[in-house]
Amino acid sequence: MTQTWFITGSSRGFGRQLVIAALEAGDQVAATARRPEQLDDLVQKYGDRVLPLALDVTDRAAAVAALDATVARFGRVDVVVNNAGYANIAPVETASEEDFRRQFDTNFWGVYNVSTAAIPVLKTQGAGTIVQFSSIGGRVGGTPGLGSYQAAKFAVDGFTRVLATELAPLGVRFLVVEPAGFATDWAGASMAVHDIAPEYAATVGAMAGGLDRPELSAGDPRRAGEILVRVVKNPELPSHLLLGAGAVTSAQAYSRGQLAEAEAWAAVSRSADFDQEHPVELPFGAQQ
């Protein structure tokens, strides 16, 4: 059955390749971008199956209007993809509050705006899927220089877990996508590297200086788009989908480390309850 997609950040990278994959699968797409004229070639190729729309995801009223325009054109919305996002690099200490907030406005509040604009539409239909683009950094975190970006991605994950629980009985599904490094413009013209003080040279500076590392462009966005179309059309969705070999390796190592730490400190953790033994020895020779 033909599906209607609503995809943010469609002008390049993941978003553009996902638009193409959905269209190649025979679906129709409302493709949003700050500059929708960048989608003219897709309109020429795919005709009225693609609807280019101007959208700044930080504007909730604009998100509602874009969803309304999509329903007016295609009659329904089956899949909403929150892909728009970007990152700048700076130490948390010295990053300007304005830049930190601006990134968060797009990377989290943009997801909030589009999701909450779409939910009434999907509820009325009794079915639909919302796909949230996070990153492997939104699971494992700790990348120097990406404080705002990774904080927002962690927030997207927590937000989506709640939505998935609230809306499951109403027929709305959710998928969090966690890519590793892909050959997109994420670390190119879309990214600004701000001043890095000498004391952060070994952490944030090393991150900024390694943006051309091969692993940061190992993934193929075209393949990712095709995979996502296949996954979304499947009756069963994972709650999270890792994309790229690096994402799988990082996630598995992180999960093993979390489990090992929880096991090592389990007795200490349990001892906080009234009915548990207290005090208990700290593990690994830690001092009381």
Give the residue numbers annotated as catalytic, written as ranges: 134, 149, 153
Q: Which two tokens stand for residue 26?
A: 């025979």
- Rg (Cα) of the chain, in Å, rounded? 21
Q: Which residue, 195, 209, 202, is CA-closest to 95?
A: 195
Question: Which is it for strands 128-133 and 28-33: parallel, antiparallel or unpaired?
Answer: unpaired
Task: Report the alpha-carbon distance of residue 104 to residue 108 in Å, rounded.
Answer: 5
Q: Which two tokens stand for residue 202?
A: 């070994």
- The angle at the Cα of 107, spanning 106 to 110, to the nearest 5 degrees, equals 50
Contact partners, residue 144, CB within 8 Å, separation at least 6: 91, 200, 203, 204, 206, 207
